[in-house]
């Protein structure tokens, strides 16, 4: 049995919480040894002050503190809005790239800095960003979340955004390895299949991932997509993709987060316990299970798993840099004010199009 503040290594499971404050059930789950992180959603957000109090309570439960992540990419996928700067969709930065690539990279770095600094100021450790998928114009679930169709443009804009995140004290998570932009099917509600051979992926979709690894990308999220010419399992359950290609051929040494295992694209692996086990066995360091507390309870009861020592080392690097400036100090800094000014009006988001529906998908959106 664990108690608030007890030293306990980070477990391999990232879960969500019910509302704007922790319930007794939330605290019970978050103190379980299998849990190592929390993903927060729109339903967990009322104001910057409220979410800062929520993250403080989550961090106080355990030592080292649980990781707190959020899908805060910009555009349609920005969980915190009131009191936060609207971040443009990444396609808006790609449009600038077409005529002014140097300016586009400056804007991407500003976007990463503002995103990271505002999240760190309320206690969030990292965002699941940037999207490294190519914009083929086929996938509605990716759509304007992607920077560009050109792999080099994606790589350079994502690198600039990552540098901005680093400046703010936050690591980046590239997704959705090895690429989710080519096919129309949405892995939230279907099991997408990409029939291209590995050689086609290597000369297109894998280019941004490979370059970002060379530039120090800290974490990756694989896609719930099957590439049958490579393996009959979705990438997030595939030892060939995660161990053979990502860690072996590409030399990645950072964190692998699964995409949400409650999504339809994960159903091929079985029930919730089997999905978590399959993701971890394939090579994920942390498995996400969202929006189904009954499934979380099933996993916490039935899964027998000791955290791998190498995963503990990798996950420790995902904590946000300490001593982040508070919101008042941040808003008074020239760097922040200039960055917000540069981003103003770029690719303005229609709030009605935002992914803030009641299901509050995680990972992929």
Contact 68, 35 (CB under 8 A): no
CA distances from 88 to 83, 343, 347 (A): 16, 8, 5
Catalytic residue among 72, 188, 224, 319: 188
Query: Does 259 participate in catalysis according to the annotation?
Result: yes
Cβ proximity of 263 and 361 under 8 Å = yes
Pure H helices in the chain: 24-30, 48-60, 90-97, 101-121, 151-167, 198-202, 206-214, 239, 272-282, 293-302, 309-316, 327-332, 334-343
Which residues contact residue 22 at a Cβ distance below 8 angstroms, ignoring those fewer than 6 apart? Answer: 30, 54, 57, 58
- Residues 165, 173 contacting (CB under 8 angstroms): no
Cα 275 from Cα 281, distance rounded (Å): 10
Is 224 tagged catalytic? no
Q: Which of 110, 194, 231, 259 is catalytic?
A: 259
* Alpha carbons 21 and 30: distance in angstroms, whole number: 13
- How is residue 259 written in tokens? 């995409």
Give backbone dihedrals phi and psi of 155, rounded to 5 degrees, phi first: -60, -45
Regarding beta strands 287-288 and 62-63, do their DSSP bridges make them parallel or antiparallel, or are they unpaired?
A: unpaired
State how far the alpha carbon of 183 is from the alpha carbons of 75, 165, 290, 302, in Å.
Answer: 21, 29, 24, 35
How many Cβ atoms are within 10 Å of 158's Cβ, its own excluded? 29
Q: Which residues pair with 316 in a beta bridge?
A: none
Buried b (16+ CB within 10 A) or exposed e, 348-363: ebeeeebbbeeebbbb
Q: Is 219 helix (H, G, I), strand (E, B) or coil?
A: strand
Catalytic residues: 188, 259
């Amino acid at each position: 049995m664990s108690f608030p503040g007890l030293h306990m290594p980070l477990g391999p499971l990232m879960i969500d919480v019910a509302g704007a404050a922790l319930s007794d059930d939330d605290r019970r789950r978050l103190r379980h040894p299998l849990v190592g992180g929390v993903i927060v959603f729109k339903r967990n957000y009322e104001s910057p002050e409220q979410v800062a109090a929520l993250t403080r309570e989550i961090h106080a439960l355990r030592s080292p503190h649980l990781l707190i992540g959020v899908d805060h990419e910009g555009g349609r996928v920005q969980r915190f809005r009131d009191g936060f700067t609207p971040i443009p969709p990444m396609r808006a930065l790609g449009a600038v790239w077409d005529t002014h690539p140097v300016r586009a990279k400056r804007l991407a770095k500003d976007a990463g800095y503002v995103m990271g600094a505002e999240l760190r100021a309320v206690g969030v450790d990292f965002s699941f960003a940037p999207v490294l998928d190519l914009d083929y114009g086929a996938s509605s679930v990716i759509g304007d979340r992607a920077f560009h169709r050109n792999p080099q443009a994606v790589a350079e804009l994502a690198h600039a955004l990552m540098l901005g995140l680093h400046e703010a004290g936050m690591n980046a998570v590239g997704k959705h390895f090895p690429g989710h932009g080519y096919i129309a099917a949405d892995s939230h509600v279907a099991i997408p299949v990409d029939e291209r051979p590995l050689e086609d992926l290597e000369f297109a979709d894998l280019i941004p991932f490979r370059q970002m690894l060379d530039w120090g990308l800290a974490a990756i999220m694989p896609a719930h997509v099957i590439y049958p010419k490579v393996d009959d399992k979705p990438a997030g359950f595939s030892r060939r993709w995660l161990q053979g290609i990502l860690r072996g051929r590409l030399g990645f040494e950072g964190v692998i987060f699964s995409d949400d295992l409650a999504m339809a694209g994960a159903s091929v692996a079985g029930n919730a316990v089997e999905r978590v086990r399959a993701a971890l066995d394939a090579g994920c360091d942390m498995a996400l299970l969202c929006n189904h507390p009954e499934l979380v309870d099933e996993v916490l009861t039935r899964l027998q798993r000791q955290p791998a020592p190498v995963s503990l080392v990798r996950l420790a690097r995902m904590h946000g840099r300490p001593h982040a400036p508070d919101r008042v100090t941040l808003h008074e800094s020239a760097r922040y004010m200039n960055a917000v000014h540069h981003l103003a009006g770029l690719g303005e988001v229609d709030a009605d199009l935002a992914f803030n529906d009641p299901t509050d998908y995680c990972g992929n959106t």
